[in-house]
Structure formats: C-alpha cells, structure tokens
Amino acid sequence: MIDLTGFPAPENAPPPRACVRLERPEPGVVVLVLDPPHRKLAVFDLPLLRDLDLALDEVEREPALAGLVITGRTPTSFAAGADLDGIASLTDPALVARLVHAGQVLFERVARLSHDRHVRTVAAVGGPVPGGAFELSLACNLILFADDKSSRIGLPETQLGILPGWGGTNRLPRRVGVPVALDAILTGRLYAPRDAYKLGLVDRLAFPEDLRRIALELASGRMKLEKRTRGLQGILIDRDPLATAVIASQARKQVLEKTRGKYPAPLLALEIAARAPHTSLEKGLEAERNAVAQLAVGPVCKNLIAIFRLSEEAKKLKELPNGGSAKAPARAGVLGAGVMGRGIASSLAEKGIATRLFDVAPAALDVALIEHRGEIVEKRKKRRLEPSAANDAIDKLDATRALVGFRRCEIVIEAVAEKLAVKREVFGALARELADDAILATNTSSLSVDAIAEGIPHPERVVGLHFFNPVKKMPLVEIVRGAKTSPETVARCAALCLQLGKTPVVTRDVAGFLVNRLLGPYLDEALRLFAGGVDPKVLDDALLDFGMPMGPLELCDEVGFDIATHAAQSLHAAYGERMTPNAVLEGPVRDGRLGKKTGKGFYVHAPAEKGAKRPKKELADDLARLVPGGAPRSPLTAPELVAERCVLAMLNEAARALHEEVVAGPRELDLATVFGMGFAPFKGGLLRWADSVGTQEIVARLERHRAMSDVQARGTAGDQRFAPCERLVWMARNLRSFHG
C-alpha cells in the first residue's frame, strides 16, 4: 500500500476505485482501464495513483492470473503523464521524493507480475502517451501502440526541468540502448507510431479498432510476439562502462553547448541513463528519486512548468462568448508570396487547409510552390508525414496571379507591402467578393489594424495575425484586436493558430503590438553599447549567458538591418524620445549590408556548399567602421551589466505595455516574451524574472544604469530610456510584484 498522506488533497476528488476499472473478458486475463471521472484525459494525480494501488491489490490476488492488459478508456485516450499542477505546488524535497517513490513502487509492482509470476503484461496505448504514461508502459512486458495520427509517445520531462522519475530513465536504456534512450530523454521528443516502432520504443503497432483485440490475444498467449533485441553489439556497448561513459561524455558536451549549463535536468538525466544498463534497478530508481526531489523544487522546474501551463491556457482563446469553441477556417487565401506569405501559405496547406496564394510576380509563386513541395517531400522521407497526408498537403496549395477565386475563402491573410494604401486597396477588393463573415487578417508588423480596417464593410471581421519569421519555426502568433474586431473573429483566429501548432496571444492595436515593441529598446540598447565601444563578442556572449537563444547583434543579422531600421523608426514615431533610434545601422543599410540575407552584417554568413554543413558564422573584421566617427573604448566590460542593461530597457517598456493593457496580464506577457522573442524559458518570462529580482531592486538598477552616461551613445540622453516608468515606481514603493 503506497502512502499518500501529507499531500494536498485535490478538489473534487472522486471516491476510491472510481479512477480505475477492472474487467475480466475471459478466464485468466484482467484488463485494467484508466478511466478517471474527473478528467477528460487520465493524469497521474493523487486519486489515480491511489486507485491504481487499490486495483493492483486486487489484480495480485487473482489466483489464476495469466495476462494483464493496461489501457485507457478509448484506444487513443490513455494518459497525459504526471500531474504538473501537483508538482508545481510542492516545495519540500522530501515530499517530492515520497511522491516519486510512490509511483516507482506502483510501476515496479506491474513489472514484478511479469518477472515473478510470469504474467503476460501488455500496455495497449494510443493518443498522447508522454512521461509517466510511457513509464507505466515500460513496466509492462510488451507495448502495443495505436497507429493513429494522434498517437505520440516519449519522455518529455527534461523540457519541464525534471527527469523521468518513475523508472523511465532506467528502463528505457535497458529497452532500446543508451544512445537511443539519451536522444529520447534529452530532447524530450514525442515519437509518432512508425518512428517509435523503428527505434524499439514499442513492440508492435495496431490500428485503433484492433488495439484491444490484439492486446487480449497477446495477454492470453494465443498470439506470440518475440521481444526485439539490439543484437550482440548493442548489448556489449550497453554493458561496457567505458563505452557508455564515452557516449555520456559526448552527450554532455552537446547539452552544455546547447544550454550553457542553465538547465540541470538533462545533465542529471544523462548520468543516470548512461549508468542504467550496468547498475541495479534499485540503485537506478534511487538516483531518479534523488534527482527529481532536487529538481522539482528548484526555480528552473517551476518556471518551465509555468510556461507550459501558460501555453495550455492559451488554447482557451478559441472559446466563444456563448461557451462553445470556434472552428478554424477550412479554406484560406494568402496575398503575397514573399518570405512571410509563402511561409504562412505552406503552413496552412500542410495542416489540411485549402489555400490559395496570390502574387503578381510569377517567379515568387514558383518559389513558393517549389519550397512547399520540397519541404513536404522531405518530411515524407523522414516519416514525419504519411504519404497520403503529404500528397494532400501538396494538393492543398494552389497559386494565382489574379485576385480572383477567393470567394469561398473563410479567411484571407495579407502579407503584401507595408503600405497602408496598398493594404486598404486589396482588402477593399476582397471585401466586395467575400462573404460578410469571412475574416480579413493582416500580417502587418508596423501598421494599425484599425487604420487598415477603415472604410472596409463589416470591420468587425478585420484582425491582425502577426506571424514571426521564420514562420515554420516561430511558435507565437499575435492576434491583434482592433477597436471593432469581434470576439468571434478573435476566437476563430485562435482556433486557426492552434491548428497550425502555434500559440496565440491577443494584443491591443498599438504600435509594435507587444513583441516588437519590447524588442525595440532591447536591440537599440545593444546597438548603443556596441557604438559605445563594448566588444561585440562580449555583448552577444553576455546575453547568451543570460539565457537568450542568440545574441542581440546576431539577432539584428537574422532580422535584417533594413527591417530593424524600419521598425525602430515606426516605434520612434509612435512613442517619442524614449524610442529615439541610434544611427549604427543607417550606413550599412545605405551600402546594402543587411545582415544574413546579404551574407554580411555584424557576422559573416558564408553559404553552405552543396551537401555540406553551413560554415560557422564569424564576427566581421570591419565592425569599427559601422560606428560613425569610430568606436570609443567603453568602461562597461562586466558581461552581467551588459546583459542587465539590455534586459532592463526591455522590462521598463514591458511595464508600460502592461499598464496600457496591451495584453490581458503579466502571464500573457511572459508567454509572449518566451515564445515570441526567445526570452530565457528557465527564467519563466520577462516579468517572472523581474519578480525574482524584486521590483525595488529593479528600480534601483534602472537608476544606476540611468547614471551611466559614460557608456551611453553620444547625443542621446539616458534619462528617458532608463527612467523607471510610473508603474514600476508605484510597484516598488508598495512592495508589489507583477504576478502578486
């Protein structure tokens, strides 16, 4: 009997044995069904753990037990893993260790049925099978996986700041070998059925409608299925401590290169997983227990879980005022086949939305179609898309040079030139052709949605859908709500974003919306530091060490100097002196030096040879000439102060945006900073980081930087940029936090 005393009692907990159902379809075979009445999808919370314990008591008492099937309420509804809300609420390492131990004991009881009593145990699972759900499956002798597009299986715990603690870090290496297990655990990848089978994560695939029948055949012994092995070579590698130590050393180097040591979970996980094949399971489980107890109460885990919960909450944006859920448009149009337009169109088509792409330039349309087909074919080769889905994705995108054929579209997204007159003209033409409730969405990054909607019939269907570049990789979409945009339009756009696999955040229609408004002062301050003589490598490395995915100078190269300059000018026009842009990029733009797209910016970006990896970028050797009048030598050399200066500039503007209710609240702002600009996830977002520092200290640091006139760009007063805004001053005076 596991001991769950001392844990917070969940609200509306069902009575004992309500979460697990036992069925006996034939003599000697028991089917254990996870079916909690208080959850749409089973979660290993305290009630489910309690009832699994009670059910196993009954199973173990079966005198003639020959087979056990563990499954969910439907073939594609098994379990979503551990209860993250419960983990987030725990602050005592001893309590965490007890919870981990309880799960380990339960899953080991399942494993012992096979080891000690020779019971044929089969996990018949499908749909999402992450984390604890997969760990329970690993405790079974065989894993039968539903071959369905909704099915994904894996161990994503390191992405949440912890590691698989219910046996997964030990059992997976024993099943598939150390190299495959490390890749699965460290990346947190969730595998599609074919990939999972190929790698040995599961033993057999079955169509959902056959899952239970085949599971019963296997559990009863009527169907034989030999467990797959890795062969002698694999076994020898796993059992050789020296070989696994070498593998672990290489993995450690890769993890440190990627995370700069900011994420402790992957480092602890790889140590345990590498030792698993030549360590007793008892010691391995103890190592898991100790690691999770340490990690789960730390700030990295708390912050990563907070970000995950925010992304889950964003899914509620598709809810309609009447309580229903909006449906994503089934037919879409995209205007403009430039980088953004063709990325949006390709994303829509890949997700099964019939998409018509317009551009007056045939070459641009050709590029869009060729790129789309190439990406889909590549995904089909890598088995990320089934052949039928790949063919459908290719067929879903068509192109036209005439602004016709859009009548049936439920949404049209324009990505044409950033000129108000052009956008109004195309929207006016479309409004006359489309249905009255068809959505007109603009991908503008600098123009007002309300200004674009002016004069358009039914302005309630005009909205901003601000995708970020590159469209396929960036997870955030800002849904920009104009003064007349209807809640139904926002909900339908949110449903579309979710179908595309994006995370939506709703913003007001203000200059720069949210993300670009905050990026403006961040990048501008970095450029001022560069102009003031801060070494460019020190500058970029300082922000990388802070936790940003790339340095600000490299980000300028990625964005493009011309686009960054245009955005800075737009922000200056809207917000005045505090957003006065510096002149560093003006000269390079005049010379056609625009960053990565021209091969040279702050860095030299050499093209890749055909079939070879792209060479590493290197800082350009002529950066001094980018500074008008030559760069002075800066006394600001401490990397932590360099990073702090850039982040504080962004935070000050974030406090203003929050005060203006540009987004619903601090949680949405944090989500946007992590998913839209890559703000260090392990810090939980910009405002969560500020809360960890304290608003009094934030104001004090702003005042210190305000006084550092010797490192400010010539001709621009720092008092406007670093004067703490009224919201921050009030919060500091009243000891308030952003999330308090």
Kindly tell me if the per-residue pLDDT of 251 is higher than 50. Answer: yes
User: If we measure between CA atoms, which residue out of 43, 46, 50 comes closest to residue 78?
Assistant: 43
Kindly tell me if the per-residue pLDDT of 322 is higher than 70. Answer: yes
- Which whole-number Å values give the CA distances from 512 to 436, 453, 643, in the listed order? 29, 17, 23
Kindly tell me if the per-residue pLDDT of 727 is higher than 60. Answer: yes
Query: Phi/psi at 226 (nearest 5 deg)?
Result: -75, 135
pLDDT at 715: 41
User: pLDDT category, 486, cuts 50, 70, 90?
Assistant: very high
pLDDT at 446: 86
Q: Give the mean pLDDT of 581-608.
A: 92
pLDDT at 228: 73
Query: Phi/psi at 153 (nearest 5 deg)?
Result: -140, 140
pLDDT at 611: 63
User: If we measure between CA atoms, which residue out of 446, 727, 442 comes closest to residue 573?
Assistant: 446
410 vs 489: CA distance, rounded Å:
11
Active site residue 372: no
The answer to whether residues 51 and 18 touch, using CB atoms and an 8 Å cutoff, is yes
pLDDT at 517: 97
Measure the CA angle with vertex 648, ends 643 and 649; round to 5°: 105
User: pLDDT category, 710, cuts 50, 70, 90?
Assistant: very low
User: pLDDT category, 721, cuts 50, 70, 90?
Assistant: confident
Kindly give the interhelix angle for 264-275 and 178-187, rounded to the nearest 10 degrees. Answer: 160
Q: Which residue has the higher pLDDT, 609 or 573?
A: 573
Percent residues over pLDDT 70 in the chain = 96
pLDDT at 236: 75
517 vs 503: CA distance, rounded Å:
19
354 vs 411: CA distance, rounded Å:
11
716 vs 702: CA distance, rounded Å:
17
Kindly tell me if the per-residue pLDDT of 709 is higher than 60. Answer: no
The answer to whether residues 274 and 301 touch, using CB atoms and an 8 Å cutoff, is no
CATH 3.90.226.10 fits 20-297, yes or no: yes
User: If we measure between CA atoms, which residue out of 164, 151, 69 comes closest to residue 110?
Assistant: 69
**Which residues, including other chains, have CB under 8 Å from residue 312's CB and lie 6 or more apart?**
none
Q: Give the mean pLDDT of 593-601.
A: 94
**Top-tier CATH class for 515-733:** mainly alpha
User: pLDDT category, 713, cuts 50, 70, 90?
Assistant: very low
Query: How would you class 9 by CB atoms within 10 Å of its CB: exposed for 0-12, middle for 13-18, buried for 19 or more?
Result: exposed
DSSP alpha helix (H) spans, 177-230? 178-187, 193-199, 211-220
**pLDDT tens for residues 84-115?**
999 999 999 999 999 999 999 999 999 999 99
**pLDDT tens for residues 659-674?**
999 999 999 999 999 9
The answer to whether residues 674 and 681 touch, using CB atoms and an 8 Å cutoff, is yes
Choosing from 466, 572, 659, 739, which is the catalytic residue?
A: 466
Kindly tell me if the per-residue pLDDT of 716 is higher than 70. Answer: no
Kindly tell me if the per-residue pLDDT of 730 is higher than 60. Answer: yes
Sorted by where each begins, the domain ranges of the chain are 20-297, 328-508, 515-733
Q: Give the mean pLDDT of 715-738.
A: 85
Kindly tell me if the per-residue pLDDT of 516 is higher than 90. Answer: yes
Kindly report the average pLDDT of the chain as a whole number.
93
Residue 207 corresponds to which tokens in the numbers above?
């169509």
Kindly tell me if the per-residue pLDDT of 242 is higher than 60. Answer: yes
pLDDT at 624: 85
User: pLDDT category, 634, cuts 50, 70, 90?
Assistant: low
Kindly tell me if the per-residue pLDDT of 4 is higher than 90. Answer: no
Q: Give the mean pLDDT of 9-32.
A: 92
User: pLDDT category, 556, cuts 50, 70, 90?
Assistant: very high
Q: Which residues pair with 191 in a beta bridge?
A: 153
Report the amino acid identity of residue 524.
D
Fold of 328-508: Rossmann fold (3.40.50)
98 vs 235: CA distance, rounded Å:
33
Measure the CA angle with vertex 281, ends 275 and 285; round to 5°: 85
**pLDDT tens for residues 178-231?**
999 999 999 999 999 999 999 999 999 999 999 999 999 999 999 999 877 777
pLDDT at 717: 47
29 vs 254: CA distance, rounded Å:
46
194 vs 172: CA distance, rounded Å:
18
pLDDT at 8: 76
User: pLDDT category, 714, cuts 50, 70, 90?
Assistant: very low
**pLDDT tens for residues 131-144?**
999 999 999 999 99
User: pLDDT category, 629, cuts 50, 70, 90?
Assistant: low
Kindly tell me if the per-residue pLDDT of 438 is higher than 60. Answer: yes
Q: Give the mean pLDDT of 689-710.
A: 91
pLDDT at 333: 97
